[in-house]
Amino acid sequence: MRSFALTRRYAFVSLVGVLITAVVLAILYHSRSIRTIIELGERNNVTVATLALNAVLPGLEDYLLADEDALGNRAQDHSPQELFGLVRQSLRDTPVDRLKIHDRDGIVRYSTEERDIGTSERENPRLQAALGGDTRSALFPAGARRALQLLRGEEVLIETYLPIWAPGNPQPIGVFELYTDVAPIVRAMTRNELLVLGAIAGIMIVLYTLLVYVVLRSERIITRQREVILERNQTLQTLSERMLAAEEDERRRVARELHEEIAQTLSAIKTKTEAAARAAALRPCIEKGPPNDEIVVLLQGAIRDVRSLAMDLRPSTLDDFGLSASLGQLCREAGQGVGLPISAPEIAVRDQDVPEPLRAVIFRVVQQTLKHLVACQRVRDLHVYLDQAQGQGLRLAVAVNASGDCIDDPRISEVWDRAVLSGAAYRETRSAAGNLRYEATWSL
């Protein structure tokens, strides 16, 4: 089993999440800071423009509206010196850097930069909004250019378009365009933004470190528990193998005693009885007792039963001739007992490739499976397979075509539990046609 590298994957995903969160917070805070600067600059510009308008509104109204139809060339129109001198005086000692006054057609009627007087800005969307009665502001310049000007110590301006209202006139008679230097405010907000973002970054780093530490500790705990589980599974598998080996050793001992002691004793009795029967045949006058032939038949049956029991407990062929020969003999005897043609097992591995403890397990599983299957009258075909699984594994399979209760016999599954106890992976597959396959796979 491979470790799923929880810490590495979580650390990468968390880092990406933290970076995305930090970028989103930076963008939100930056946009909010810009909005705050614009709101403050606009409020200041509105205040300054209102003071200036209060001082010059009567004359400014007459100037913007007088002889409007008679002005043929607005580019040659010059502002009255007294009126706009008063405007400049009212804006003295204020943060206003530049000023433009537009009439209702978008023509610049006054500007602190004379080259702009007489030009038209009617395509300017903020000017059009102001002519519609709305106050619009923007920070100039924007983006990277603004950051570059701040680094150079140059000015950053708030551009505000303020409609000029006249009493009794439902529409603005013109627009005030003011530019105010807000570079000090932008620098202060930038410093605050950097401090806040630095604090957020620090908190994110601390949180990220704590989360990674918690996950690392969790992974260590999971790894230790996994090792304990694997160790316990290995212990259980070892115990199961020892139990199976002990059972097989006991079977071997009992089979040897039955075959070498009891069966030999019965054979000796049979031999002596036969000799006594032949001697009695030579003495016709001897008193007749129980028929010796019947005794011989009984002894032969007893010997046959003892040898059959010894074969069930531990076949001698498994130790003398190997697993392949034992499985072949087992299939032949199982088929002969019920008249079912069982083909020879298909074995694609050498006996030396099968570990010694597994040989008895495989033989016992096949033996008990055949015993239960041949007892069923609805078995039509039966095959035994032993080959290599994918990699270096070992696979045992018994395929049978049967119907009725044969395919639902729980005793067969219990037989294959012996293979599971020896460390095999077991599965059972069946089809609607009655084909059933029992399969166990060992990883060697």
Instruction: Please give the Cα distance from 160 to 127 (Å, whole number).
Output: 9
Q: Kindly state whether residue 200 falls inside one of the protein's structural domains.
A: no
Per-residue confidence in pLDDT tens, the chain, 444 aa:
444 567 778 788 888 888 888 888 888 888 888 888 888 888 888 888 887 787 777 777 777 776 544 444 444 444 466 677 777 777 777 778 888 888 888 888 888 887 888 888 888 888 899 888 898 888 877 666 666 666 666 677 888 898 988 887 888 888 888 888 887 888 888 888 889 888 888 888 898 888 888 888 888 888 888 888 888 888 777 777 777 777 777 777 777 777 776 777 777 777 877 777 777 777 655 555 555 566 677 677 777 777 777 666 667 777 788 888 888 888 888 777 666 767 788 898 888 888 888 888 898 888 888 888 877 766 777 889 999 887 678 999 998 887 666 666 777 887 888 888 888 888 888 877 768 889 999 987
Looking at 160, 181, 202, the residue that finishes a domain is 181
Can you tell me the distance from the alpha carbon of 337 to that of 182, in angstroms, rounded to the nearest whole number?
107
DSSP, collapsed to helix, strand or coil, labels residue 443 as: coil
Of 388, 385, 371, the closest CA to residue 439 belongs to: 385
Count up the domains in the chain and report the number.
2
Domain presence at residue 312:
no
Please check whether residue 82 lies inside any domain of the structure. yes
Q: Looking at residue 436, what is its pLDDT?
A: 85
Q: What is the model's pLDDT at position 440?
A: 92
CB count, 10 Å around CB of 327?
25
The Cα–Cα gap between 212 and 7 comes to 7
End-of-domain residue from the set 181, 212, 229: 181
* DSSP alpha helix (H) spans, 339-396: 356-374
pLDDT confidence of residue 1: 41
Q: Is residue 190 part of a domain?
A: no
Domain interval for residue 438 = 321-442
Are the C-beta atoms of residues 426 and 419 closer than 8 Å to each other? yes
In 3D space, the residue among 238, 263, 268 whose CA is nearest the CA of residue 357 turns out to be 238
**Is 424 a domain residue?**
yes
Q: Which two tokens stand for residue 436?
A: 């059933």
Give 441's strand partners: 395, 425
- Whole-model pTM: value is 0.46
What is the structure's pLDDT at 70?
Answer: 43
User: Which helix or strand (DSSP H or E) is residue 159 part of?
Assistant: strand 157-164
With beta carbons less than 8 A apart as the criterion, state whether 177 and 24 touch.
Answer: no
CATH, residue 61: 3.30.450.20
Asked if residues 176 and 161 have their Cβ atoms less than 8 Å apart, the reply is yes
Question: Could you tell me whether strands 425-430 and 157-164 are parallel, antiparallel, or unpaired per DSSP bridges?
Answer: unpaired
Q: Is residue 52 part of a domain?
A: yes
Residue 350: inside a domain = yes
Which is nearest to 399 in space by CA: 358, 361, 364, 440? Answer: 440
Bridge pairing between strands 136-140 and 108-111: unpaired
Q: Which of 181, 210, 232 delimits the end of a domain?
A: 181
- 311 falls within a domain: no
Question: Residue 383 belongs to a domain with what CATH number?
Answer: 3.30.565.10
